[in-house]
Amino acid sequence: MNDEEYWVEVSGLAAFTEGVRLSTLKSTRSFFANVRPRESTPSIEWDRHLLAASLVTLDAPETVQSGALRILQGCVQDPDATSVQKAAAEYLLRRLGNGRAAELAHKRGLAPDDDDPASASPLSLDLIRRTLELSVDGGEHRVPVNYFQRQFWSAAEDSRWTSVSAPTSAGKSHIVRLWLTTQVRSHDTYRAVYVVPTRALIDEVSRELETALGEGATVTTMPWDTRIDEKRHELFVLTQERLHILLRKRPEMTFDVIFVDEAQKLNDGSRGVLLQRTLDEAARRGEPTIIFASPLTSNPELLVEGVSGTSKALVSETVTVNQTLIHVNQRPRKTTLWDMVALVSGEAISIGEFDLPARPVPASKRLSLVAVALGSAHSGNVVYANGPGDAEKTAGQICDALGTSDWRPSAATLDVVELIEKTIHPHYLLATYLKQGVAFHYGNMPLLVREAVETLFRNGDVRYLVCTSTLLEGVNLPCQNLFVRAPRKGNNTPMSAPDFWNLAGRAGRWGVEFQGNIVCIDTSDENAWLEAPTRRTRQPMARATDAIARDIGALREYIADGTPVATARTQPILQALFGILASARRQGRELQELPWLQATADEAAELSEIVDASLAPLTVPVETLQLHAGISPISIQRLYDHFRTVSSRDEFDLAAPESTDAVDSYIRAIAICFRFLGADFTDVDGRHFSLALLFVEWMRGRPLAVLIASRIRYLRRARKEFTLAVEIRSVLKDVEQYARFEGPLFLACYADILNEALPQDVNGTETPDIAMMMELGVSRVTEVSMMSLGISRTSVVALSEHIVSDDLTPEQSVEWITSRDIAAFDLPTLVVAEIVQVARRRTSGD
């Protein structure tokens, strides 16, 4: 009998399948106490089921491990199980490498009180051996890990290229942090980059690494940090955009290791192409170790196929916490009576029925009313909304359904309310809802506010958190219950299965809860779900660059037509794909040698000819084209030719943000970027003016509250109708999408091409760093220094009004802060707390 046959045999045992079903039934009914069973819950013969679970080992398939975990955790939670049975379940949990679940059982008083669980078992020697096997060398001592973490450690040590896929709750972040820490401490010099998909993750990851490393290394989050190259050990935590800028600014910089978190984002359109291009460039310099990590993908080997050097692809089967998939649907002709069914490996298990607190009319209330009916007795409820507007509406419905409860906001909550009212708007709905223990959360919100809300949620000061697709971006925000109805992602398209299961992975907190619940609402409604999920499945991963072979005809036509800007605006992926191919050819690389290019030899040769022919007549310096490879080089040439036809550059120069003519200069530049580069700056209803004003005010370091107030004043003067909540969201979106992404991309190119076509006089004013000012939203060296320390823009802008000096270094900034009584300034409590905490951390070396 081979391994596959053995696991089929084990999973088919009646004692195993019945144990999984009964454990799920009893634990789910116990958790949702207000769900009324239609029949009594049967008693469980734990001896039989524990014996079946004992057949499961570390190398079992994911579904078998999950079943064993349900049996073991069900036993320790069951008040009817004996102490001997619970001790056996605890032993088996530890043998499967899940010591955190066993420790949780002790913490809750569910397991026998024994200081040394191994000594109480006749199999103690086996448990000691397993504990040693599941540990790694953390430097000063051995560190216990689970099976996936041990596999990851070995793969990272032995291979130049590693691609791992593991469930969200497998402990990936912890083991990567530990591995990087040991690498730094074991090398005389070391430079690593940790690539994250969004800015929201930069601060979280960098703080954790700083805590782990202390003074052992500089942890840097921006390419403009003046501390780069100061120490022999450096860790960069960057998005692909910031990594691209770093590589551009430092053409000789090399890395020892590159870790790519949420590697499935290589399929994220133009940003995925940019990520691939930056990895190509970083890998080309030296021979760094490159590690990809993705959740629940079935083909992690895709990312290491055809690479040079040793490679390893790892699909982890480790299950650390159970995630129960639940379907809830309305009983026919009874609008407030709903049925609950749990699904385990596709099998439906009837849990019972429950009542909604009100009729679900209109249909938009179905999500919020189910969430209140099932989650009001618990904290840790996350509700998925399809967009910022839906998130605010759903949060309001939840508040209304909860009514006048006994909920009292904590002091920490009131501090966040103060922060919101002072830094965004006094009537921003989030401040109102927080007082009832409800919050919403989306990507365009200021970082300090978003992190404050996440902290409240983790600490139980928020019982409901309504989130958008930011939960798909790797945000470390695990929950107890996740409520989902008709999920969409971007352009109102149904959410893909990979994205759904990545979202579902947030349900369940390893070592905090025994299980997480994914509550899917209206699964019988085909208009809500194209295909309702019935079991967790791994999905194949793809890359944005795969579109080259898939849409080679469209790409060929786009290049042959001279890369028209209208096409670039409607199909930006074509511009990005042409850019990465052109970049490779300019470096003298053969396209068929690119490991990620899914094209035949004939197709690659044809593409090479087309790309080479399009590049041949260009006169813009190759170095400049490489700096802006995300924009069509043909479009860049058109802009260059335009500038060469004018006699003076004066009217085209971008003024410094504080200059009185700054807005006019940006209006002109935005129009030119729209015309020649294909920037999505459509001039409808004075859009170029509003964007120019936003860009200038943003770079001046204006607080968001000022930007929002300015927008409202403009609308009132123009006598235009508006809704406050909509306009606040609009400003937040414009800042993230245009001021911090589209603006830096195109305006930095504009400035560089202007300098190439019409060089400045020796005594001319130095062109400001457009990318830096727009990415960070500040313009002074002092403000950049403070942000490099880890202080959020919100706090930096608030504090900068009190600082006169323009050019403080990070060290001088810390000295300035520690020499003042920051608490005496009229700043929000959380702003003061962040500034003081960062300064204290920098001075103490923690």
pLDDT in tens, 575-612: 999 999 999 999 899 999 899 998 899 999 999 999 99
Q: Domain 147-315 carries which CATH code?
A: 3.40.50.300
Query: What is the residue whose two structure tokens read 């004075």?
Result: 686
Q: How many CB atoms lie within 10 A of CB 361?
A: 10
What are the boundaries of each domain within the chain?
3-134, 147-315, 323-521, 544-644, 650-774, 780-844
pLDDT tens for 209-221 read 998 888 889 999 9
Please report, rounded to a whole number, the percentage of residues in the chain having pLDDT higher than 90: 73
Residue type, 85: Q
Residue type, 448: L
732 CB-contact burial (10 Å; exposed 0-12 / middle 13-18 / buried 19+) = buried
253-267, 467-481, 632-646: segment of lowest average pLDDT: 467-481
Q: How far apart are CA 479 and CA 464, in angstroms?
A: 10
- Both tokens of 811, joined, read 């060290």
pLDDT at 762: 57
Residue 113 confidence (pLDDT) above 80:
no
Residue pair 417/436 in contact by the 8 Å Cβ criterion: no
pLDDT at 783: 96
Q: How confident is the model at residue 477 (pLDDT cuts 50, 70, 90)?
A: confident
Residue 374 vs residue 598, higher pLDDT = 374
Residue 109 confidence (pLDDT) above 70:
yes
Residue 123 confidence (pLDDT) above 70:
no
Counting every residue, how long is the chain? 846
Strands (E), 100-252: 135-137, 142-144, 161-165, 190-195, 218-220, 233-238
pLDDT at 318: 86
178-182, 383-387, 501-505, 513-517: segment of lowest average pLDDT: 501-505
Domain pair 147-315 / 323-521, same fold: yes
pLDDT tens for 173-208 read 889 999 999 999 999 999 999 999 988 889 889 989
Please report, rounded to a whole number, the percentage of residues in the chain having pLDDT higher than 70: 97
pLDDT at 125: 67
Residue 846 confidence (pLDDT) above 50:
no
Strand order in the sheet with 257-260: 218-220, 233-238, 190-195, 257-260, 289-294, 161-165, 311-315
Residue 118 confidence (pLDDT) above 50:
no
pLDDT tens for 28-53 read 999 999 999 999 999 999 999 999 99
**Exposure of 784 in the CB half-sphere (CA atoms within 13 A):** 20
Residue 345 confidence (pLDDT) above 90:
no
pLDDT at 286: 86
Q: How far apart are CA 656 and CA 556, in angstroms?
A: 41
Mean pLDDT in residue range 511-526? 92
pLDDT at 509: 78
User: Which H or E run contains 705?
Assistant: helix 704-717
Name 36's bridge partners. Answer: 353
- Arithmetic mean of pLDDT over the chain: 91
Residue 763 confidence (pLDDT) above 70:
no
Q: How far apart are CA 501 and CA 517, in angstroms?
A: 13
pLDDT tens for 430-469 read 999 999 999 999 989 999 999 999 999 999 999 999 999 8
Residue 120 confidence (pLDDT) above 80:
no
Q: How far apart are CA 783 and CA 797, in angstroms?
A: 8
Closest by CA to 711, choosing from 731, 697, 739, 692, is 731
Residue pair 211/332 in contact by the 8 Å Cβ criterion: no
Residue 641 vs residue 599, higher pLDDT = 641
Q: How confident is the model at residue 767 (pLDDT cuts 50, 70, 90)?
A: low
Q: How many CB atoms lie within 10 A of CB 320?
A: 25
Q: How confident is the model at residue 629 (pLDDT cuts 50, 70, 90)?
A: confident
**CATH code 3.90.180.10 for 323-521:** no
Name 258's bridge partners. Answer: 193, 290
Residue 429 confidence (pLDDT) above 60:
yes
